[in-house]
């Protein structure tokens, strides 16, 4: 008799700043369940509805072993596809089914993917500050903790947020000046490089803040500081400009955290226009498509750098790590330094030692969830402010 799905639930929790969505898939085998990440933090309640009102009725009674078929049918069952709400919902189920398969096999998921090609994954962490000296101080502190890859950001995304020359009646919002951001960021990177030396790898996230031609110039200007990579220099709508950047700059490029369709990453890979794929694994639909993309990118010499901030859940970070230690073309893994509460809420959450993230050898994804503790930290019903970004004249801008 096959083991079947008997229930699918979405568990929403907020142990820190980000709202998280965890999927728990129950099975017909007593005590056997799987966990997956479905976190789209700005739309958690839409994902919850997609899981419990649409996917759950569709999935109950299906064989847990048929991961590929379930993924394919889930993607097309709603007819319209490749959107962030549906993809995250599908991802939560997909990761949970891989978790179940590993538990049934008595193996970690990385063994099911093909086994380790490395013992641990090198990670990068974030250094931020209101001015260049504060960023350098933060970076030095992280180096002292054993980190060798550090993303440097001046005052958050879009720069330090200095007062703008606004027109009368301009609405409130998260204002930034693209040109000021570019100037100040280049000065900051130069300063941090002089402080930490050439042995430490520096990264920077543009976060799609620049117009395409300004992104071309920025990639050229930052080349002299030899970044490990420049992240999200362009918005998904402007990816045609990557060819221009590539022609004019040798700065390594990472792209993908907003991608949810193969049409967005396929040509960038086949034309070798980026150096790292860094999709949000739940945004792209789970472990199944991420495994396929990693193998596809490897054929073109492109490395992985999966999205891993605080709005990837600990379950999602565990899934990332299984991909990291398996993939021959692994590059780097973003890491967010979880709180003590998160380690208590998610037993088995991976740990960093001396700049490397280590998996455990537990079956499945190797992580669990204290459901009662998670439910005691419910998601706030808020309207995000940081995504309400504006240019100096008050016009809307990408966040």
User: How far is 354 from 332, CA to CA, in rounded Å?
Assistant: 14
How far is the CA of 306 from the CAs of 19, 282, 315, in angstroms?
19, 10, 14
Q: Catalytic amino acids?
A: 157, 207
pLDDT, tens digit, for every residue of 308-332?
999 999 999 999 999 999 999 999 9
Sign of CA dihedral 111, 67, 375, 41: positive
User: How far is 200 from 303, CA to CA, in rounded Å?
Assistant: 19
| Residue-level pLDDT at 156 | 78
This prediction has a pTM of 0.96
Mean pLDDT score across all residues of the chain: 96
How far is the CA of 26 from the CAs of 35, 68, 116, 325, in angstroms?
9, 18, 28, 28
Count of other CB atoms within 10 angstroms of residue 135: 24
- The separation between CA 373 and the C-alpha centre of its own chain, rounded to angstroms, equals 24
pLDDT at 85 over 70: yes
Band of residue 134 on the pLDDT scale cut at 50, 70, 90: very high
pLDDT, tens digit, for every residue of 37-78?
999 999 999 999 999 999 999 999 999 999 999 999 999 999
| Residue-level pLDDT at 171 | 87
pLDDT, tens digit, for every residue of 221-263?
999 999 999 999 999 999 999 999 999 999 999 999 999 999 9
CATH (one of 3.10.20.30, 3.30.390.10, 1.20.1250.20, 1.10.3720.10) for 5-107: 3.30.390.10
| Residue-level pLDDT at 138 | 98
Residue 373 is classified by DSSP as H
Q: Residue 28: is it exposed, middle or buried by C-beta count within 10 angstroms (0-12/13-18/19+)?
A: middle
Residue 353 tokens read as: 């030692």
| Residue-level pLDDT at 273 | 98
| Residue-level pLDDT at 293 | 98
Residue 268 tokens read as: 């960038």
Residue 303 is classified by DSSP as E
Band of residue 175 on the pLDDT scale cut at 50, 70, 90: confident
- For the chain, which residues make up each domain, given as ranges? 5-107, 112-364
- Which CATH architecture fits 112-364? Alpha-Beta Barrel (3.20)
User: How far is 54 from 57, CA to CA, in rounded Å?
Assistant: 6
């Amino acid at each position: 008799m096959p083991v079947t799905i008997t229930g699918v639930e979405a568990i929403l929790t907020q142990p820190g700043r980000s709202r998280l969505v965890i999927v728990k898939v129950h099975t017909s085998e007593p005590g056997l369940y799987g966990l997956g990440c479905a976190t789209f933090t700005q739309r958690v309640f839409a994902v919850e509805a997609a899981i419990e009102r649409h996917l759950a009725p569709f999935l109950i009674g299906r064989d847990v072993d048929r991961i590929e078929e379930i993924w394919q049918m889930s993607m097309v069952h709603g007819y319209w596809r490749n959107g962030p709400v549906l993809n995250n919902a599908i991802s939560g189920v997909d990761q949970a089914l891989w978790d179940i398969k590993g538990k049934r096999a008595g193996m970690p998921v990385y063994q099911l993917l093909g086994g380790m090609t490395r013992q641990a994954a090198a990670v990068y962490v974030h250094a931020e500050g209101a001015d260049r000296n504060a960023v350098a101080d933060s970076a030095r502190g992280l180096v002292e903790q054993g980190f060798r890859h550090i993303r440097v950001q001046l005052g958050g995304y879009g720069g330090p947020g200095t007062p703008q020359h606004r027109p009368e009646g301009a609405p409130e919002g998260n204002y930034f000046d693209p040109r000021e951001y570019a100037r100040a960021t280049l000065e900051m990177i130069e300063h941090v490089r002089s402080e930490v030396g050439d042995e430490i790898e520096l990264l920077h996230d543009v976060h799609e803040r620049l117009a395409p031609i300004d992104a071309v110039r920025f990639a050229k200007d930052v080349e002299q500081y030899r970044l490990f990579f420049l992240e999200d220099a362009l918005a998904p709508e402007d990816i045609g400009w990557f060819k221009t950047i590539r022609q004019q700059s040798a700065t390594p490029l990472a792209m993908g955290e907003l991608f949810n369709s193969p049409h967005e990453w396929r040509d960038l890979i086949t034309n070798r226009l980026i150096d790292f794929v860094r999709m949000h694994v739940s945004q792209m639909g789970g472990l199944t498509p991420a495994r396929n993309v990693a193998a596809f990118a490897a054929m073109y010499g492109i490395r992985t750098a999966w999205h891993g901030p605080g709005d990837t859940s600990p379950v999602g970070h565990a899934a990332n790590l299984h991909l990291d230690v398996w993939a021959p073309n692994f590059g780097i893994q973003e890491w967010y330094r979880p709180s003590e509460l998160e380690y208590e809420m998610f037993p088995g959450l991976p740990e960093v030692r001396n700049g490397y993230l280590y998996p455990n050898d537990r079956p499945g994804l190797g992580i669990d969830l204290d459901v009662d503790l998670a439910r005691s930290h419910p998601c706030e019903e808020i309207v995000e402010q940081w995504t309400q970004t504006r240019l100096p004249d008050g016009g809307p801008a990408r966040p």
